[in-house]
Copies of this chain bind each other. A is one copy, B any other.
Amino acid sequence: MDDLVQRVLAGDRSALARVMTLLERDDPAGIAVWQALYPRTGRAQRIGLTGPPGVGKSTLVTQLARHYRQQDQMAGIVAVDPTSPLTGGALLGDRVRMGQLATDPGVFVRSMASRGQPGGLAAQTAAVADVLDAAGMDRVLIETVGVGQEALAVVGAAHTTVLVGAPGQGDEVQALKAGLLELADVLVVNQSDRDGAPALAAAWRWVIEDGASHSPDTGWQPPVIETVATTGEGVPALAAALDRHRAWLADGGGWERRTERIAGERVLRALAHRLLETARRRAAASGTWDRLIADVAARRLDPATAAARLAAAAADEERPPAPAG
């Protein structure tokens, strides 16, 4: 284990891949390596990118990594593959598109499936980002699809959150009002050479300014960057916006607040996972589990009441037993 830790800290690619595989399996050896690496993290800027399918996120991430390499910075990419069984092939093609970056020692790409992560996708994505951080990456780009709870949990563990859209994706402005402003630090209109892009960018800017006039002044107004990821146009402007956001976080103390918020969310997730495993194990061992589930299935008991009884039983396991009577 010490050997794996040292090799990750030295940036050894096969060690990185090995630890990530162990983490994806919730393997105790992987968790031990991650715990040993955790004190060596905190240096990389974590950048979360999300948006609907088809807006060009993967191409944009590839171009950003290329940009960072030209500046002699190391870049890690965590691509959370939605593994839609119906559209799942897309990301693999995107990985191929990375071309020479795939063999660049200053870039490390990891795809993660969004199914079958026993410890939860958000927790494991954050742990993989920790490994890249400890290995010396300057930037860790975390790419996911959509803005459901799952995607939000993934990108919410980033210092800087980027929302990517493109013209022709529906009623963006209306929806933007519904909750995007509180989330995005940087907005990207990709495919900005297409019809409708200037109008979309203008509408987004209007919504942001309108929102800013109604909400407390945080000192950061999300910029709207126009890009054409396929040609790289606008990518330097996006990189500059990401730098500005990092500098703003560092100068105003927002970095610490954000780091604490991320830490809080990570602890809560780990706690939920642990409590649930304990409760399930305990109930299964006592036979309570099967009885309660049969009662819920037969409508003799509702799920909330069953959960309360299991919680009481699980509590015994986390501390020494009380005396009988």
Binding site for B on A (CB under 8 A): 31, 34-35, 38-42, 51-53, 55, 82-90, 114-117, 121, 123, 146-152, 163, 165, 169-172, 174-176, 178-180, 183, 256, 259-260, 262-264, 266-276, 278-280, 292-294, 296-297, 299-300, 302-308, 310-312, 314-323
Residues of chain B with a CB closer than 8 A to A82's CB:
146-148
Are B270 and A175 within 8 A (Cβ)?
no
Are B169 and A299 within 8 A (Cβ)?
no
In the assembled complex, the CB of A275 is this many whole angstroms from the nearest CB of chain B, namely 4
Which of B31, B170, B270, B314 sits near A90, CB closer than 8 Å?
B170
Residues of chain B with a CB closer than 8 A to A42's CB:
299
Q: List 6 A-B contacts (CB under 8 A).
A: A35-B302, A260-B297, A267-B306, A269-B303, A270-B307, A315-B315
Query: How far apart sit A271 and B279, CA to CA, in the bound complex (Å)?
Result: 8
Which of B87, B280, B297 sits near A169, CB closer than 8 Å?
B87
Query: How far apart sit A233 and B283, CA to CA, in the bound complex (Å)?
Result: 49
Cβ-closest chain B residue relative to A177: B85
Are B85 and A147 within 8 A (Cβ)?
yes
Residues of chain B with a CB closer than 8 A to A292's CB:
267
Of A152, A175, A274, A303, most buried by chain B (CB within 10 Å of CB) is A303
Residues of chain B with a CB closer than 8 A to A83's CB:
147-148, 175, 178-179
Are B121 and A271 within 8 A (Cβ)?
no
Are B86 and A172 within 8 A (Cβ)?
yes
Cβ-closest chain B residue relative to A90: B170
Which of B180, B304, B310 sits near A35, CB closer than 8 Å?
B304
